[in-house]
Amino acid sequence: MITKLLIANRGEIACRIARTAHRMGVRTVAVFSDADRNAPHVRLCDEAIHLGPAPAAESYLIAEKIIAAAKRTGADAIHPGYGFLSENADFAEAVEDAGIIFVGPTAETIRAMGSKSAAKDLMEEAGVPVTPGYQGEDQSLRTFRDAAERIGYPVLLKATAGGGGKGMRMVEKEADLADTLDSARREAKSAFGDERFLIEKYVPHARHLEVQIFGDGKGNVVHMFERDCSVQRRHQKIIEEAPAPDLPPGVRAKLLEAGVNAGKAVNYRGAGTVEFLYDTGGQDGGQVYFMEMNTRLQVEHPVSEMITGLDFVEWQLRIASGDGLPYRQEDIVELGHAFEARLYAEDASQNFAPSIGTLTTLHLPGGRARIDSGVEEGQTITPHYDPMIAKIITHGARRSIALNRLVMALEETRVAGLETNAPFLHRLAQHPKFVRGEVSTRFIEHHGSELFDEPAPDAPVWAAAALFLRDVPDAPAAPAFRLNRAAHEVLWLEHDGEPALFHLYHEEDGYHAVLEPDASAAARREGREAKPAQSFTFTGTRAANGEISLTVNGRRLTAKAARHGKGVRIWLGAEQFDIRLVDPLTGAQSEGSTEGSLTAPMPGIVTLLNAKPGDEIAAGASLLVMEAMKMEHSIKAPSAGVLKAYRFSPGDQVKEGDLLVEFEAAE
């Protein structure tokens, strides 16, 4: 049995592995970069070894340092987690050559499945159905054009060494193929060091299904049923569930059989996931096609744990120790339904762009949900790693129960200091079609108008914000802000760049409020149409924990509040609203905006300039491409105009807020 385990990872998965290891009586060793010196996974383990600077390429991706750390601490096994070196065959081989147990499949299996093109060839030989496409060595544009014409548009470009949605692009017409392939190759080369691609038929009404398997490396493979991971953004999963809803029994049987056969074809050892595309438009309930095999533990494995009652990390450690499969297939029983929602530091309204900053408030739901997290309040989300904050996992005897628990858990989730996708996840989980299990890989694309429709603040939000901001010690001074509290106070508030005057009249039993939206002098000068004023009465008290008890027009409710940037973040249920108190002498100004310029939304590297100084630019045209968090981000023209100058060249490192482009809008 393994006695000391080095965890070659960080964050949530490192914490999750450490907890199981400790329960099994296995000592643990953490590794960390400069950015993670005080991270929770470092404190959770028995020992910790420093690897180097924050960039993963200088720390978590250096195999020699990790193996040296294992030898130095006497660890007899290394668990790679997911990401980083988890699917690196050379690393797995080096670990075992050093006389250390690698908790995962053999290097031979990882190599066989690491190339999406080679994996498809192998699965075809094993009789596993594969998606129509091309996965050959000829990587010329002409070959890709011929393949796309043969299988028909739309098509999907996929990096052969890819994973996690990176280096994946959908192409709808031939005119877009060349530019899209160039962009995808740049991203794949940066993320994986390999710019080879394959092309597949894009199935518009598809679901993304996967089968969790375990093998003993001796030909025995079992499955832990299937998961549905269809709901994705940027080809990355955000809500997963098990089992898949509304799946015809015949399709399910075919899917599970194909998953087990895929594992047997490579004599699989340990935990793995076989991913399939389910074309719901086919005959006999539809067809399933092999996409890829992930030779590691998946991010979404907790939903399968919840419906089987098994600990998959324990299974990994027992198999790696030579114990074989703990259970036979007939001993593995399906129990109820489970969901997982991935809470990310990202701005859903800005195409899910990662959000960098310090978690000034982090409140995750307890009781209703299992929380897998590797960060804590006060910790900074950096541009160096994946921006996941936590996984929120719920279980119930029926799908409806598990989903209701997920909705309530998301309502209890509160994060301030940066942006998160929590409100978006809540809207998604309540969407009528999601509730009915009518999902596909284009769910977000098809229902974006409802999912991205953020509500405007109503009377309770303004009342809660006023109660909070009146007591903030470093708020801008306003004429009515005095300790004796005049009978009439005026607060100048701002939400989403829109200013409003908040008149607060003190009455014997509370307050009478009048909100005049869009009341700035600038708005009047620009001749904007005046929005109607709101009038309401309220009473309220604010507790030290940020809870605000309100009665608004006779309706009682509770809001939560916390400092966020230069203002307050108010939560009513799962929706959040950011309100600022602005200086009445200067008016409401959008923070960080510079007229006529375009700035970096986050730290990154400039990779491509798409125009020349002096060029006339159409509104929405891409001016510059930068890479951050291993994803490409296009900086686009806010309007038609002229590009005056670039401030950086390809390869230059930029900081958040750096001026990238000088741009002059057309009159």
Measured distance CA(84)–CA(382) in Å, rounded: 16
Q: In what order do the strands lie in the sheet with 597-599?
A: 597-599, 659-665, 641-646, 616-617
Residue 396 token pair: 């119930």
Distance (Å) of CA 476 to CA 456, 469, 479: 24, 10, 10
Alpha helices (H) in 381-537, listed in sequence order = 399-411, 422-430, 432-435, 443-446, 448-451, 459-469, 521-525
- The one catalytic residue among 185, 227, 296, 569: 296
Backbone angles phi, psi at 589, to 5 degrees: -125, 140
> Helix (H, G, I), strand (E, B), or coil: what is residue 55?
coil
Measured distance CA(1)–CA(318) in Å, rounded: 7
Measured distance CA(358)–CA(398) in Å, rounded: 38
Neighbours of 406 (CB within 10 A): 28
Distance (Å) of CA 287 to CA 207, 258, 281, 434, 475: 11, 12, 8, 22, 61
What is the sign, positive or negative, of the torsion defined by CA atoms of 598, 599, 601, 602? Answer: positive
Residue 34 token pair: 């400069």
> Helix (H, G, I), strand (E, B), or coil: what is residue 135?
coil
Measured distance CA(122)–CA(128) in Å, rounded: 9
Whether residue 148 contacts residue 199, with contact meaning beta carbons closer than 8 Å, is answered with: yes
* Longest CA span, the chain: 83
Q: At what angle are helices 107-114 and 116-125 packed, to 10 degrees?
A: 100
Measured distance CA(591)–CA(500) in Å, rounded: 16
Whether residue 8 contacts residue 62, with contact meaning beta carbons closer than 8 Å, is answered with: no
Measured distance CA(513)–CA(503) in Å, rounded: 6
Measured distance CA(124)–CA(400) in Å, rounded: 38
> Helix (H, G, I), strand (E, B), or coil: what is residue 221?
strand
Q: What is the DSSP letter of 652?
A: -
Residue among 104, 76, 79 at smallest CA distance from 89 = 104
Residue 322 token pair: 């030579």
Distance (Å) of CA 336 to CA 240, 304, 395: 15, 10, 7
Q: What is the DSSP letter of 267?
A: T
Q: Is 296 a catalytic residue?
A: yes
Exposure on the CB side of residue 470, measured as CA atoms within 13 A: 22
> Helix (H, G, I), strand (E, B), or coil: what is residue 386?
coil
Measured distance CA(167)–CA(191) in Å, rounded: 8
CA-based R_g, the chain, Å? 27
Residue 631 token pair: 């994803």
Each as own residue / partner, the long-range contacts of residues 172-175 (CB below 8 Å, 24 or more positions apart, any chain) are 174/145, 174/148, 174/149
Residues marked active site are found at 296
